Structure 1
Amino acid sequence: MQLSTAHRTTTRRIASAAVAAGAVVGLLGTFTAAADAATGAHPTRPNHPIIGGTEKPVGSYPFMAALLTKGRGNPHDRQFCGGSLLAPDIVMTAAHCVIGAQPKQLETVVGRTVLSKKNQGHLRNVTDVVVHPRYARGQEAYDIAFLMLDKPVTGTAPVNLPTAGTDALIRPGAKATVIGWGNTDTEVTHYPDRIRAVDVPIVSHIECKASYPDYDKKVNVCAGVEGKDSCQGDSGGPMFRKLPGRRGVYQTGIVSYGDGCAAQGAPGVYTYTGSAKLWDTLSESAKGKKLKQLLGR
């Protein structure tokens, strides 16, 4: 699902083991053409996942979702992005993962640790895809989308979101966790079957702007350090924090783009889920307005 890299080296963190396996070529072509048109300034780079992380035991992240191209093959080969359970029947992900895709082309599994283990988690069909209206118009910073599921995921607590307009959870230097099935090696491509996690430091807006001139501090946040980062295959997945005395996790970011993976001076860029502007402008489309009402945002 690689896009043109003619524009610049910063790229979206979408990838798929299915590309390497030569599967679902038609669907990937659909994603590529649509994403290339909408995200030309941040085209996708060669395939890679969580860098510097560790494998996690079964059941570690029940709110985590894997986006799959629909088919009969091994789910490990069909996974291309991550996501998170935002409500029992809604999965939140990155817009660049699903722009141009039809619901019938997708499925998602929530709460699976090992992708190939079909007895883990909750597999759901997708009935609708809601892309942030500003992203759909080419404003790449608004990299968020929502998958409406055919039936609720029960017995699993969705992620919590920061209060819109606050920045207490993205204080520079604070540690957050990123999870996914992305490539684990920048030299030799390897997509793990078991989910991995890495703790990354939040980076200040000033430092991030120095690395990415198009960075928008109103709707983005940066995190990562040399040797620890998200990467291809992790797109759409959550960056989150656990707070003392609070239940569940607070998702602060959605994996979006970056310059290379885990490189010095090039942190990952995330869509900030506590951005008031992100949620206020969601109402600019009819679908977005309805979704915002459903979520009470």
Structure 2
Amino acid sequence: MRLSPAHRTAPRRIAAAAIAAGAVLGLVGTSAGTAGAATPAHPGRPDKPIIGGTEKPVGAYPFMAALLAKGRGNPHDRQFCGGSLLEPGVVMTAAHCVVGEQPKQLETVVGRTVLSKKNQGHVRNVTDIVVHPRYARGQEAYDIAFLILDKPVTGTAPVNLPTAGTDALIRPGAKATVIGWGNTDTEVPNYPDRIRAVDVPIVSHIECKASYPGYDKKVNVCAGVEGKDSCQGDSGGPMFRKLPGRRGVYQVGIVSYGDGCAAQGAPGVYTYTGSAKLWDTLGESAQGRKVKRLLGR
């Protein structure tokens, strides 16, 4: 994941962002390794964002959320992860983005296209952070967390989720879209102000396991191809599909980790939001059960 130098024990895809007390959530560097969570499990990756994507117009993704370190600086400089509006009062993100952080250190903005444009989107404070209980116990495949907002975001359609326990939306070869403000250059760090998107192919569990021995097909999914991938700064953001005749988008993944960015034979790994095991085990903690009730799951 992409955390501060103090957390530099495992890889993720987090961008640089200073936090109120002076701690850093993200890492923008030129080394091949990236910062990580308290329970290391995955190989490092170079410091970059959406690779091979294109800029998108204002309002293209109203459900998209940016996680910001609270402060007075430019939001572009304070953004460190992505997320998505799951319910009017809940933003879904990656656990490695927020594990160990306090709600008062963060804020989120939903529906903003250009990070520095403060007149875009809905800014919300965070009142609670719920990390998946298995991730909290060191099982990094369960890389999902929920931000409870101080007030709901109205007038914006949240993402849809696949039916728990199905895999119809992650058929190998199917195309999905990943969005974010992550690094766009595999050589020189370049974090864009305007959101970008890239279409990536879903990769089979067998291929993913070959690339990542710790890959868990029950709660993970892989996507990407050489030249097209998510990267640093994209952590926590959505991978989704649009279905013919259906309104809105279906989020199938949360940007989690990967070996390098857009490298051959190293697709990105995502938390699969259609995993029955992911949602069933969320209820192993009191906070998780609260979130499940809130989401009607």
In the TM superposition, what are the counterparts of 1:96-245 in structure 2 within 5 Å? 96-245=96-245
In the TM superposition, what is the alpha-carbon distance from 1:87 to its structure 2 partner?
Answer: 0.2
44 and 69 in structure 1: CA distance in 2 versus 1, 3 angstrom threshold: farther
Distance 2:180 2:174 in 1: 20
Unaligned runs of 5+ in 1: none
Distance 1:84 1:208 in 2: 25
Distance 1:129 1:153 in 2: 17
TM-score normalized with structure 1 length? 0.93
Q: Which residue of 1 aligns with 2:65?
A: 65
The 8 Å contact of residues 48 and 184 in structure 2, kept in 1 or not, is answered as yes
Q: Which residue of 1 aligns with 2:31?
A: none
SS of the aligned residue for 1:107 comes to strand
Distance 1:6 1:128 in 2: 25
Q: Which residue of 2 aligns with 1:83?
A: 83
Percent identity, please.
85
Match for 1:27: what amino acid? A
Distance 2:37 2:176 in 1: 32
What's the C-alpha RMSD, in Å, of the aligned pairs? 2.0
Which structure 1 residue ranges, 4+ long, deviate > 3 Å from structure 2? 1-8, 43-46
SS of the aligned residue for 1:38 comes to coil
Q: How big is each residue's C-alpha offset from its partner over 1:19-52, in whole Å with a ceiling of 9 and x where there is no partner?
A: 6xxx757332699xxx856331236644310000
Match of 1:28 among 24, 28, 31: 24
Distance 2:182 2:214 in 1: 25
The 8 Å contact of residues 14 and 26 in structure 2, kept in 1 or not, is answered as no
286 and 242 in structure 1: CA distance in 2 versus 1, 3 angstrom threshold: same
Distance 2:7 2:111 in 1: 33
User: Alignment length, in residue pairs?
Assistant: 288
TM-score normalized with structure 2 length? 0.93
Q: How big is each residue's C-alpha offset from its partner over 1:268-291, in whole Å with a ceiling of 9 and x where there is no partner?
A: 000000000000000000000111
SS of the aligned residue for 1:155 comes to coil
Unaligned runs of 5+ in 2: 28-34
Higher helix residue share = 1
Distance 1:194 1:58 in 2: 9
Distance 1:290 1:5 in 2: 29
Alignment of 1:282 onto 2:282: yes
SS of the aligned residue for 1:51 comes to coil
215 and 4 in structure 1: CA distance in 2 versus 1, 3 angstrom threshold: farther
The 8 Å contact of residues 3 and 43 in structure 1, kept in 2 or not, is answered as no
The 8 Å contact of residues 7 and 43 in structure 1, kept in 2 or not, is answered as no
SS of the aligned residue for 2:96 comes to helix
